[in-house]
Amino acid sequence: MHELPQLDVYAPSKLGEALSYLSGEGRGSRLLAGGTWLIPAMRKEGTRVERVVDLSGLSNLSYVRRSQNLLRIGALTTISGLADSDILDGRYCCFKRLGRLFGSAATRNMATVGGNLAAGAAGDLAEILAVLEGRVIIHNARRKRVASPTALRLAGDEMIVEVQFADLKGHTATWFNKFEKRKQGGAGLVTTTTLLRLRDRRTVGDVRIALSRIRGKETGRAEKAEAQLRGKAANPENIQRALVALESEMHPAGDYQGSSRFRKKIAVAMVREGLEKCLERLDQAPGRAREEGQC
């Protein structure tokens, strides 16, 4: 670890000021929100940072709102603020679980939605938003654009402003899980998110499964596994067929923390658990999935 270098720090109080700076003399500056990723990176040898835009003054970008059938989350919402939101009810166990499994309490109170997404493969939210079929709203001084949470690339004059996804309908439940070699260590060795919607008491209307490192280091959906369950009875036999399909379509990159084979084995077990937990919640009385319950 090294001491932090001397930096030029710009602290805007409005979004427009930040975007104007990034489009001019501050182009290529690093954005500082919670700092839980950037500060440790700056202390490591080889990470060169000269200019930083401190976003802490943009408090109007911290919110969770429901606009008709759309959920909108500001980029500076913290992980704890997201997990504790009353607007995200028990159907959104994925966020409640994220709040339990995301680092320490101090980290959850500092880390932001935008920062986690910008961290790419090191973050958890891209996977959750993939299951929710969410989109990321990105601005620069001239325009805004929409990006996929799993294919996110920011230009030097851009910043994430908001994420959006359609409010979940019907009899739906979600689940997020993370496997770490040491408790609350940050980035998970394997993370999985599942969504299950029942058409009737036992028929799957929709299912979505996302994993970290589904191919290489890519976060994405397990489409073959989903196809094995969608429209079928939610019974152990069909779940097993889906897990076999999942194992065939997963090709995770291995590293010193865990081999590809090990990551695949853990991921399959975690997806099974996610589907079973969703079913447990959906087996409750109608409407109970909206309550927080035991996320």
pTM above 0.85, yes or no: yes
Domain-terminating residue out of 126, 142, 166: 166
- Give the C-alpha separation, 267 to 288, whole Å: 28
Q: What is the pLDDT of residue 42?
A: 61
Helix %, strand %, coil % of the chain (to 5): 35, 25, 35
Give the β-pairing of 70-74 and 159-166.
Answer: antiparallel
Domain shared by 221 and 150, yes or no: no
Query: What is residue 257's predicted lDDT score, i.e. its pLDDT?
Result: 86
pLDDT, one tens digit for every residue, the chain (295 residues): 455 556 788 899 999 999 999 999 888 888 888 766 666 666 565 566 678 889 999 999 999 999 989 999 999 999 999 999 999 999 999 999 999 999 888 889 989 999 999 987 667 999 999 999 999 999 999 999 999 999 999 999 999 999 999 999 989 999 999 998 765 555 678 999 999 999 988 899 999 999 999 999 999 999 999 999 999 999 999 999 999 999 999 999 999 888 999 999 999 999 999 999 999 999 875 555 565 556 8
Question: What is the DSSP pairing of strand 190-198 with strand 171-179?
Answer: antiparallel
- Of 57, 75, 91, the position where a domain reaches its end is 57
Same domain, 124 and 101: yes
Q: Is residue 204 part of a domain?
A: yes
3 state SS of 50:
coil
Residue 90 lies in a domain: yes
pLDDT at 295 (0 to 100): 83
What pLDDT is recorded for position 240? 97
Amino acid found at 139: H
R_g of the chain, CA atoms, integer Å: 20
CATH code, 43: 3.30.43
- Structural domain range at position 96: 59-166
How far is it, in rounded angstroms, from Cα 209 to Cα 128?
9
Burial class from Cβ neighbours inside 10 Å (0-12, 13-18, 19+) for residue 199 reads middle
